[in-house]
Amino acid sequence: MVAFFAAVVTGLFGTVVLSPATPVCQAGKPCTAPAAGVKLTFSRGTRDVKSVITTSTGHYRVVLAPGVYTVRAGRSNMARLAPTNVTVVQGIVRRRNFTLDTGIR
C-alpha cells in the first residue's frame, strides 16, 4: 500500500504598485504603476524570514509558515509600504496587495 500526502502550501501573492507614479494625476489616467524589481522582506520579531523580488509587472509570490509578519520594501527608508503587517493562515495562499508611497507631492 502506498500513501500519498499532498503538501499544504501557505503564503501570499499579489501586486505591488507605486503611488503616486507621477507628480500630477490626471482624470482618466492611472496614478499608479507596477513596482518592478522591489525587494519585499517578511520578518517575524527581529528575524528576517524570507525575501522576494517583484516581477516586471509588480507581482510577487511567497511561501510562508502561518503567522503574523512585518513587511518592508527595500531599505526601510526607501518608501512607505502599506500595509506593513500581514497574517498568513494555515492551508491558504492569500492575495495581499501592497502600495509603495513614492513621496511625490
Domains of the chain from N-terminus onward: 11-100 (2.60.40.1120)
Percent of the chain at pLDDT > 70 equals 87
Q: Model pTM?
A: 0.82
Query: Is the CB of residue 33 less than 8 Å from the CB of residue 18?
Result: yes
pLDDT, position 67: 95
pLDDT tens digits along 66-76: 999 999 998 55
CA 66, CA 62: separation in Å to the nearest integer? 12
What amino acid occupies position 47?
Answer: R
